[in-house]
Structure 1
Amino acid sequence: MTKGALRAGAQLGLAHAELAQVLHLDAQAISAMEAGIEPLRADTPSGQRAITLIKIHQALTANVGLDEEAGKRWMASSNTALGGIPASLIQTGEALGAVLDYLRRAEAPQGI
């Protein structure tokens, strides 16, 4: 799960500081995760947030395909339906789930 969260964060265009905010960790914890020193555990709040982040990445990929740059653009662009920029919104508690719900509701053939 740790590698998946790090990969999802990178592919969504999140800087380490942003990923730390999403997971409610500090930057040192992200560095420790990368070094393999501090793995995420699914039974922790940070682990649960990581699982949601991975699901966001999967749902976005289902909507934009394997075009990583398109996914990064979507994350960095203002979204009227969500009321902000997804990359910023997911750094708050409630909005992480809202972004996932939005992506799951989006119809893949129409895109997002």
Structure 2
Amino acid sequence: MTKAVVRAAGLLEVSQIRIAEILGVSSATASRMASGSYQLAEDSKQWELAALFVRLFRSLDAIVGSSDSVAKQWLWSENKALGGIPGELIRTTEGLVRAVHYLDAARGRL
């Protein structure tokens, strides 16, 4: 899961600081995750949040295909349906869950 989060964050250009906020870990822990010297514990709240972040990435990837630029544009642009910029909203658990549900609903329409 840790590798998946780091990879998704890299493709979406989500900073280590933002990943730390999303997962509720320190920025030092996020840095250790990126370097491969720290793994999320499978039974932790951080694992659950990481799974949601990866789900967001996979849903977005399914909608826009392998176009990382379109995915990044969606993540960092105002979204009226979500009431903000998804990349900002996902810093909170509520925002992350709302963004995932939004993308899941959009995927369902395809």
Q: Percent identity?
A: 33
Alignment of 1:7-26 (within 5 A): 7-26=7-26
Q: TM-score, normalised by structure 1?
A: 0.92
1:56 alignment partner in structure 2: 56
Higher helix fraction: Structure 1 or Structure 2?
A: 2
Cα 1:104–1:76 shift into 2, 3 Å: same
Q: What's 1:106 paired with?
A: 106
For residues 6-85 of structure 1, the aligned pairs below 5 Å read 6-85=6-85
Match of 2:102, as an amino acid? Answer: Y
**Aligned residues between the structures:** 110
Counterpart of 2:20, as a letter, is A
Deviations along 1:9-48, whole A, 9 cap, x unmatched? 1112211111111111111001111222210122111111
CA RMSD of aligned residues (A): 1.4
Structure 1 gap ranges (5+): none
Query: Does the CA contact (< 8 Å) of 1:64 and 1:108 recur in 2?
Result: no
Asked whether the equivalents of residues 62 and 107 of structure 2 are also in contact (C-alpha less than 8 Å), the reply is: no
Please say if residues 24 and 46 of structure 1, whose CA atoms lie closer than 8 Å, have aligned partners that are also in contact. Answer: yes
